[in-house]
Amino acid sequence: MKKNLAPIARLFWNALGIAILVFLFGASYRVTQIDFPRLVRDAYKARDFVMAFLSPDVVTRDVETTVIEMNFPVPCGSAPEAEMPDSGPRLVTNVPCAEARQTFILEGFDLLPNSEVNVSWLLPTGGTLRIGRVTTDEDGHFLIEVEVRPITAAQDGVPSRITAETLVPVGPLKPSQALLDVMREMFVTIFMALLSTTIATIIAAPLSFLAASNITKRGVLGTAVYYIARSFFNFIRSFEPLVMASVFAFWLGYGPFAGSLALTVVTTASLGKLFSEAVESIDSGPIEAIQATGANRLQTVLYAVVPQIVPDFISFIVYHWDINVRISTIIGFVGGGGIGYYLNEQINSMVGYHRAGTAIWAIIIVVWALDFLSAEVRKRLT
């Protein structure tokens, strides 16, 4: 009878397991608000960033600027109106003056062809208000619609002026300022990862022997030390790098120092666990041979354990340096310094997408290079 019920019970438990999985996946789908149609429908919102990513700010040229201006009273009658020239480089409006919140057409004639032009208000107070950037056609002409802001109102009979600054590239191509900034911050990130990995190695290497059961877990005292060391590594590993970076950033202020300390703490725990597991996996034969000669515990570690673990230790160190470069990029978003902080600044500025694209490409290239380097080192050591 029991044999006849066994297939039914197995079928029931399988069906129950499948039902639970379906329920969990359904709940996950609702909780995470998955909406694949929206992913396609709102793709246009990422267009500017994607285009900036595909055209990073890498090279530039020196520019010469030429500026032409014209008076434009706001409101009408508050200051003398400008005379509209009919030849030469000039600005022309469809109305000689305007009221606040009114729009008018501004045109430029006989400017340099196919050139970028920055159009701005020069306020009576001496400040500037950006109108926009346009590009002239082959005839040196541009047209833009301008909305009059109340801040452009004349003061004591002095009107605001409309300025058009033409930018003309000259000279050979050279690295852009964005590229130089990205290279500087990328080196900061690499050195942050290198320094934190080095300090973490110095701390984790000796502690890892205390967390290795085949070395320490002997007697009451040794067992206590073993569990304390293991608990220390597990406790520290429970903190994410972002959390540690936030803590040190509030403590010490934003910058590479806070990021390096956060990486050091996290890396110490991670390397300590890896090192201890490497020590536990060594061949016991050399240990027994050394101990048979009457060697003490320190001599056993130096002559039987260390030679076996050096290749693994070096492999873990190089691999963690690679990992820390990637993590450094992320902790920069919470004030940890380096390329991540630079990237966060450019994205939040809403106008630095091309510079952000430069930073992203630099991160990709460096991470790829370090991944290749660490893989080669680990391959030669194993």
Q: Looking at the predicted structure, is the pLDDT value of residue 105 above 90?
A: yes
pLDDT, average across residues 107-122: 89
Q: Please give the DSSP secondary-structure letter assigned to residue 152.
A: G
Domain 59-175 belongs to what architecture? Sandwich (2.60)
- Using CB atoms within 10 Å of the CB of residue 159, give its burial: 0 to 12 exposed, 13 to 18 middle, 19+ buried: buried
177-381 to CATH, choices 3.40.50.300, 1.10.3720.10, 3.40.640.10, 1.10.10.10: 1.10.3720.10
Q: Looking at the predicted structure, is the pLDDT value of residue 5 above 70?
A: no
Residues 70 and 82 sit within 8 Å (Cβ to Cβ) = yes
Residue type, 349: S
Residues 165 and 65 sit within 8 Å (Cβ to Cβ) = yes
Backbone torsion region of residue 338, taken as left when φ is above 0, otherwise alpha when ψ lies between -120 and 50, otherwise beta: left
- The model's pLDDT over 168-220, given as tens digits with 9 standing for 90+, comes to 777 788 888 888 988 998 888 888 888 999 999 999 888 888 888 777 777 78
User: What pLDDT, on a 0 to 100 scale, did the predictor assign at position 2?
Assistant: 52
- Look at residue 25 and give its three-state secondary structure: helix
Q: What are phi and psi of 135, to 5 degrees?
A: -125, 130
CA atoms within 13 A on the CB side of 47: 6
Strand-pair category, 116-122 with 103-109? unpaired
Distance of CA 97 to the CA centre of its chain: 47
Better-scored residue on pLDDT, 142 or 352: 142
Better-scored residue on pLDDT, 2 or 56: 56
Structure tokens at 320: 């963690």
Q: Looking at the predicted structure, is the pLDDT value of residue 3 above 60?
A: no
How many Å from the N-terminal Cα to the C-terminal Cα in the chain? 57
ω into 73 cis (within 30 of 0): no
User: What pLDDT, on a 0 to 100 scale, did the predictor assign at position 342?
Assistant: 85
Q: Looking at the predicted structure, is the pLDDT value of residue 350 above 70?
A: no
User: What pLDDT, on a 0 to 100 scale, did the predictor assign at position 11?
Assistant: 81
User: What pLDDT, on a 0 to 100 scale, did the predictor assign at position 241?
Assistant: 82
User: What pLDDT, on a 0 to 100 scale, did the predictor assign at position 35?
Assistant: 79
Q: What is the mean pLDDT of the chain?
A: 83
User: What length is written for the chain?
Assistant: 382
- The model's pLDDT over 220-266, given as tens digits with 9 standing for 90+, comes to 887 888 888 888 888 888 888 888 888 888 888 888 888 888 889 98
User: What pLDDT, on a 0 to 100 scale, did the predictor assign at position 250?
Assistant: 83
User: What pLDDT, on a 0 to 100 scale, did the predictor assign at position 141?
Assistant: 92
What is the spatial distance between Cα 242 and Cα 41, in angstroms, rounded to a whole number? 32
Mean pLDDT highest for which of 48-57, 58-67, 181-190? 181-190
User: What pLDDT, on a 0 to 100 scale, did the predictor assign at position 42?
Assistant: 82
- The model's pLDDT over 302-318, given as tens digits with 9 standing for 90+, comes to 777 777 777 788 888 88
Q: Looking at the predicted structure, is the pLDDT value of residue 1 above 80?
A: no
pLDDT band at 351 (very low <50, low <70, confident <90, very high): low
What is the spatial distance between Cα 373 and Cα 156, in angstroms, rounded to a whole number? 68
pLDDT band at 120 (very low <50, low <70, confident <90, very high): very high
User: What pLDDT, on a 0 to 100 scale, did the predictor assign at position 381?
Assistant: 63
User: What pLDDT, on a 0 to 100 scale, did the predictor assign at position 199?
Assistant: 92
Q: Please give the DSSP secondary-structure letter assigned to residue 281.
A: T
pLDDT, average across residues 127-150: 90
> Which H or E element spans position 131?
strand 128-135
Q: Please give the DSSP secondary-structure letter assigned to residue 103.
A: E
Q: Please give the DSSP secondary-structure letter assigned to residue 276.
A: H
